[in-house]
Amino acid sequence: MEKEVILIVEDDADIREGIRILLESEGYLITEARDGRQGLELLNQDTDLVILDIMMPGISGLRTCEEIRKTSNVPVLFLTAKTQESDKMIGLMVGGDDYLPKPFSYAELLGRVKALLRRYKVYKGKCDETDREEEHYITAANIKINETFNEIYLSGKETELSDIEYRMLLLLMRYPRKIFSAQNIYESVWKEPYFYTCNSTVMVHIRKLRVKIEEDPQNPKLIRTVWGKGYKFEANHE
């Protein structure tokens, strides 16, 4: 079994070393970068996860994530000393998958890492090609989505979604017209307990998903908001 490769982009050498020692003890292969520029140089197709500090000299973590998203859907876990909700939202908007404020426990970090890697491995199709014999699709409106792998076609054209966006769309399309609350979506997609602040996280990802699949994201026809209740996928719309 191939070891998963994790890229740590952190300007604090002590924090970087601590994370490296922890993850190497769990059997991961670690690549280290002291800043965003070096991180972008070290990122490649073998990278399975990026742990990215937001506050760094030179290229910030936010800008680094924007550059990563131009070429890769690899999961990005942000580390930052900032704890305001607005900072978390900015991180998610530029393409981050999860957010861990400093100081954090190694147990919490390891839990986030394992969850992101597990989802990425399953939903990006990083498994034996023989598994593809079992793949099935759901088709509704102008969308065709693979139920096993992160593979989506919009009007016949393959469309790139992040792992979170894929899982969210698949959930909604599996149960068209069913109303999902923010809590339903968060616990189903993130596989973590829901807290009130998670509502904003769901809202940001719904917004990003609409940008990718709706003809007019400001007037969505596929992913509808049911005020006071949640969201639903409307397969048949006028």
Ordered structural domains, the chain, with CATH: 5-123 (3.40.50.2300), 133-233 (1.10.10.10)
The SS3 assignment for 28 reads coil
| Whole-number Å distance between alpha carbons of 152 and 170 | 10
Q: Does residue 125 carry a pLDDT above 60?
A: no
Give the pLDDT confidence score for residue 232 in this predicted structure.
95
Candidate from 45-54, 118-127, 189-198, 211-220 with smallest mean pLDDT:
118-127
Burial-class residue 179 by CB neighbours within 10 Å (0-12, 13-18, 19+).
Answer: middle
Paired strand residues for 153: 144, 158
Indicate the pTM of the whole model. Answer: 0.63
* Residue 87 vs residue 152, higher pLDDT: 152
Instruction: Reply yes or no on whether the pLDDT at 46 is more than 80.
Output: yes
123, amino acid identity:
Y
CA 140 to CA 125: how far, in whole Å?
22
The C-alpha atoms of residue 21 and residue 35 are separated, in whole angstroms, by 19
Average pLDDT, the chain: 86
Residue 74 near residue 47, CB atoms below 8 Å:
yes
| Residue 85 to residue 67: CA distance in whole angstroms | 23
Indicate the SS3 state at residue 221: coil
**135 pLDDT exceeds 70?**
no
Q: What is the mean pLDDT of residues 50-65?
A: 91
Which one is predicted more confidently, 215 or 81? 215
Strand-pairing partners, residue 231, are: 180, 225
Q: What per-residue confidence (pLDDT) applies to 5?
A: 95
Region of poorest pLDDT, from 114-123, 126-135, 157-166, 179-188: 126-135
Question: Greatest CA span in the chain, whole angstroms?
Answer: 57
What's the average model confidence in pLDDT over 88-98?
Answer: 78
